[in-house]
Amino acid sequence: MPIFKKNIMFKNYPLEIIAPDFGSRLTDLIIELDYLRKKELTGTTHPKIFFQLKHIFHTLESIGSARIEGNNTTVAEYIETKLDDLPSSNQNIREIQNIENAMTFIEDNVKDYPINRMFLSELHKMIVEGLDLSPKGEGDKTPGEYRSTNVRIAQSSHTPPDWSLISEYMDELLEFVNCVKEPKYDLLKAAIAHHRFVWVHPFGNGNGRTVRIFTYAMLVKLGFNVNVGRIINPTAVFCNNKNDYYHFLSKADSGMKPDVLEWCTCVLSGLKEEIEKIDNLLDYEYLKKEILIPTINHSLERKYINGTELKILKRVLEKQEFKHQILRIYSKERLLQRFQD
């Protein structure tokens, strides 16, 4: 039943698990992902190399998550700040740093603490910390607190609920997230909860960044974590194809079963693609042939490295071993130069 508040129409629908048909693609994805969640993380790539690459991908995907909101920071600009290891006054870079800090916070704490109002408040505070207020910036005047005014979502026909209803809807959402159900429903629950969060739009600003981190927390809680499971960073699910993300997210606003299930299929398809990336990183022959060798050849073509360095690096690739003496040939400036493309 539509609710009318201050001349704004808000269409309510119940928050619940919607089961897919047995023969659907979504059911296949649930079965495949449940198997992969339990599969041991192992391969021919040396663990040190794998986790270094994991860190690089983590950074790139943090940049991708911020870009959904219009942040145009380049990889080179952000890598420079990491090489300097100093806090940045640049608002775009600070936004990405906040996302990385929030993911680290999740990895360190979500296994031991429930995803509750306090946990969510901390995530939002970290996401908007040190950022200028909207409309010029991506900060929020009340970090960690639910909005106290009504809002509209840019480029969306959905009207979020009146601000006076937010606590009620968010309590319902957090209860939904923490309700213990059969494992086969775990991924459906995470996808539906992601949409519901955006649907409620609980904060004055930073909802998109916070919900992607919120979803990351749910998935780590469910065992989809690179330290014990399979996934690098599920935020990549939502930044690899921004158009699909917004399209299916918007369709799910109807609350109709087919639309919600399409959204779930979109999310779970993205998760499966992320897991396949992990499998490729774990296969050292694939990693060397498809990623590492093309990268250093490209660096030679662009004159980022010379012939001697090329030989050294290819030798290193064969042995999967990076010695300190080899790394010394690269100054900070030359490392940065490799990210300029």
**Residue 277, Ramachandran bin (φ over 0: left; ψ between -120 and 50: alpha; else beta):** alpha
DSSP 322: -
pLDDT tens track for 294-315 = 888 888 898 888 888 888 888 8
Going by C-beta distance under 8 Å and a sequence separation of 6 or more, which residues neighbour residue 139? 128, 130, 131, 132, 133, 205, 206
- The mean per-residue pLDDT over the stretch 167-177 comes to 96
CB atoms under 10 Å from CB of 78, counted, come to 24
Alpha carbon distance 341, 95 (integer Å): 22
Rg (CA), the chain: 22
- The mean per-residue pLDDT over the stretch 67-83 comes to 75
How buried is residue 316: exposed, middle or buried, by Cβ count under 10 Å (0-12/13-18/19+)?
middle
pLDDT tens track for 191-212 = 999 999 999 999 999 999 999 9
Q: How confident is the prediction for the chain on average, in pLDDT?
A: 82
pLDDT tens track for 201-258 = 999 999 999 999 999 899 888 877 766 655 666 666 776 677 888 899 999 999 999 9
∠ CA 181-185-189, nearest 5°, is 95
Alpha carbon distance 24, 12 (integer Å): 27
Cβ–Cβ under 8 Å, residues 147 and 202: yes
Going by C-beta distance under 8 Å and a sequence separation of 6 or more, which residues neighbour residue 78? 59, 63, 93, 96
Higher pLDDT, 76 or 102: 102
**pLDDT attached to residue 323:** 47
Going by C-beta distance under 8 Å and a sequence separation of 6 or more, which residues neighbour residue 280? 286, 287, 290
Give the confidence band of 118 by pLDDT, cuts at 50, 70, 90.
Answer: very high
pLDDT tens track for 247-295 = 999 999 999 999 999 999 999 998 888 888 778 888 889 888 888 888 8
Q: Which of 174, 281, 277 is nearest to 217 (CA)?
A: 174
Q: Which domains does the chain possess?
A: 42-282 (1.10.3290.10), 285-337 (no CATH)
DSSP 305: S
